[in-house]
Amino acid sequence: MFHKRPTPQAVGTPTNSTLPNFPDYPKYSVWPDGYYVTTNENNIPAMYAFEREAMLTGAPADMVRLGAPALAGFGFQAFTPADLDGPAPPTNSLALFMRHRDDEVHNEGSNNPSQDYLEIWQFAVDWTTPANSTFTKLQDVATAEFSSDLCGLTSYSCIAQPSGGIPLDPLREVIMWRLQYRNFGTHQSLVGNHATDVDGTDRAGVRWFELRRTSGAWSLYQQGTYAPSDGLSRWMGAIAMDGDGNMALGYNVSSTSLHPSLRYAGRLATDTLGTLPHGEYNIVTGAGVNTAERYGDYSAMSVDPADDCTFWFTGQYNPTSQWSTRIATFKFDSCGVPIGPLDEVAYLPLVMRPAAPPPPPPPTIPTVLNGNFESGPDGNWAESSSNGPDLVTNVLPATLTPRSGSWVAWLGGIDNETSELSQAFTLPSSPALYLNFYYRIGSQDLCDYDDAVIYVGASAVASFELCEDNNSANWVGDSLNMAPYAGQTVTVRFTTVTDSTNLSSFFIDDVAFSTTPLADAEMQRQPGGAYGQAKSAIGR
């Protein structure tokens, strides 16, 4: 939609130019009078409004930033903005925001033991006089009891994994994106979800809810906690409602016996309130333990505007120790035109095709000369290093094993090292061509100082920050999409630039062309791509 490049202003004073903290964990929404963003800024919630009408015409656009009080106990603080689907809200409706409040932990000593709350806030933006803009609480909506105490209130280590893997972040602090808004004419709806401890043992479940407003205040229409009695944690939910009022909930699932995986459940608008009775469906089963606590907190459930029936869900799972993402699509066959003999909810392939004609002859695939570097520095790769070492080498750190054979390319170093490894290729006219390779990062430096950049011709197609936070414990597959250069002769350049302090290394192995990307590639890069990776230091 747009790149988040605000000039932030002080909390509560939209004309003050004091710069606050980095806007972490952004969540976006669309509303008739603006684009809205919520962030966590050093454990203080912040809300931004961007002038949508001006942005859509390319005119200079204003931005307003406001804040709200933090909840006691949480170390991480963020609201979630209501995101519009379908018909517009009533004229002059203000943008809505929400957070949940477990008053046993946030209002200790003055809490209600039989209920907790959803806080609804509203952003009144004034594009004529931005200083008049306000962010105020609209109301509290009482809900059934839930527990935000998942391994405490601040620990990022909670959700169990198999094989003694590091527990994962429960992200107890926020209503998960999206907080979907719909206007059905007879009523307005808000649909959302958040994590809760379902039994006091730090087993997570998904508390989901629908609020409605016919006139006056919002009220709780239905709620439920999805947590079948199987010992599994379910969290990182994303929920949405189609144009008929049916709901789908996607989420992560994990336990000591199940690797992080993705599933979904759903309900028809005519089902008993507070239930998701149509079974639990598997999207993908994980096969690896995640190696860091941070997990999957950018899941999303959206509804296709083409039919207002088809749900699209994306989330994170672990096919190996390196996480990946999966996209799934499904619909209720009672919504709109049926798409086949489906029983209420079905998992559909992401791409559906009719029977294909006989395939054309395979294209001629160019060869990467010495792509596995086992011929040593034989001249097929052009090498340059400002400090002199051969880039193609079999003299390696004790902690590094080549992905294959005994040789790798080793770029980077210390003392303002500039390295470049390049080779020219003539590409066929076929668009289905990828340059696949494997890499590892080993750095002793902080981020923002050392970089690796891959160029195809003059275009930078991938960049990597060489720093400790992005160190890779294993070889990582990557694939460059060469379709934009079909029929051309281009030079592919792997480059690194380091500063004068602390070693940073970028290792490459097994470079080859293929008509398909690597099955374990993190992304199929287009021009302008960027990437960072997980930890385990190695170095020259």
From the list 413, 400, 420, 415, the residue with the least C-alpha distance to 493 is: 420
Residues 6+ apart with CB under 8 A from 190: 82, 96, 98, 179, 180, 181, 210, 211, 212, 218
Domain layout of the chain by residue ranges: 24-330, 382-525
The pLDDT tens digits along the chain (540 residues) read: 334 443 333 334 444 445 457 889 999 999 999 999 999 999 999 999 999 999 999 999 999 999 999 999 998 999 999 999 999 999 999 999 999 999 999 988 788 989 999 999 999 999 999 999 999 999 999 999 999 999 999 999 999 999 999 999 999 999 999 999 999 999 999 999 999 999 999 999 999 999 999 999 999 999 999 999 999 999 999 999 999 999 999 999 999 999 999 999 999 999 999 999 998 999 999 999 999 999 988 899 999 999 999 999 999 999 999 999 999 999 998 998 544 433 444 444 343 344 556 666 666 789 999 999 999 999 999 999 998 888 999 999 988 999 999 999 999 998 899 999 999 999 998 767 999 999 999 999 999 899 999 999 999 999 999 999 999 889 999 999 999 999 999 999 999 999 998 999 999 999 999 989 998 765 444 443 333 332 233 334
Report the distance separating Cα 296 and Cα 159, nearest Å.
12
Amino acid making up residue 362: P
Say if CB 246 and CB 226 are below 8 A apart: no
The number of helices, as runs of H, and strands, as runs of E, in the chain is 2, 30
Fold of 382-525: Jelly Rolls (2.60.120)
C-alpha distance from residue 282 to each of 198, 234, 240, 331, 421 (Å) = 21, 13, 18, 15, 44
- Other beta carbons within 10 angstroms of residue 506's beta carbon come to 27
Encoded tokens for 98: 């929400």
From the list 71, 292, 44, 77, the residue with the least C-alpha distance to 175 is: 77
Q: Report CA torsion sign: 80, 251, 327, 534.
A: positive
24-330 and 382-525 in the same fold: no
Residue 175 DSSP one-character state = P
Residues 6+ apart with CB under 8 A from 21: 41, 42, 44
- Other beta carbons within 10 angstroms of residue 512's beta carbon come to 15
From first CA to last CA, the distance across the chain in angstroms is 42
C-alpha distance from residue 58 to each of 51, 55, 61, 65 (Å) = 11, 5, 8, 21
Q: Which CATH architecture has domain 24-330?
A: 6 Propeller (2.120)
Report the distance separating Cα 220 and Cα 120, nearest Å.
12
Amino acid making up residue 387: N
Q: What is the pTM of this model?
A: 0.62
